[in-house]
Amino acid sequence: MNSRQMAQALGRRGGRARARRLDPNERQRIAAMGGEARSQSLLAARRIIENLRYAGAVGELAGRRPAIRRVKTCRGRLPGLYPDRI
């Protein structure tokens, strides 16, 4: 077992212990926050795609075709999604 596998095992154990410590209302609140964050992230991704398509259409009308690179994941945090965190 390497160090990565040990860290994963400890993380799973710690998460289960934390879940047992929390009351059902707190677990539900945390799950709701996670769902809201995912929803906001998906909405932001849709907006980015729409903006890129719009920019591409404007570029075509202007006579130039911009090169748009597609990526499956975003590296780093999207600005404005988590205003209460730095």
* Structural contact between residues 66 and 56, judged by C-beta atoms closer than 8 angstroms: yes
C-alpha to C-alpha distance for 65 and 52, rounded to whole angstroms: 12
pTM for the model stands at 0.49
Between 63 and 38, residue with greater pLDDT: 38
Residue 86 domain flag: no
Q: Is residue 78 part of a domain?
A: no
The count of domains in the chain is: 1
Q: Does 29 map to a domain?
A: yes
Assigned domain for 75 exists: no
pLDDT of 69 over the 80 cut = no
- Where do we find the tokens 């988590």? 82
Which token pair is 65? 């075709």
Alpha carbons 41 and 38: distance in angstroms, whole number: 5
Cα–Cα distance for residue pair 82/40, rounded to 1 Å? 9
Domain of 57 in residue numbering reads as: 3-61
- Confirm whether 80 is domain-assigned: no
68 in a domain, yes or no? Answer: no
> What is the C-alpha radius of gyration for the chain, rounded to an integer number of angstroms?
20
Residue 76: inside a domain, yes or no? Answer: no
Give domain status of residue 32, yes or no: yes
Categorize the per-residue pLDDT at 57 as very low, low, confident or very high, splitting at 50, 70 and 90: confident
Q: Are 68 and 58 in contact (CB under 8 A)?
A: no
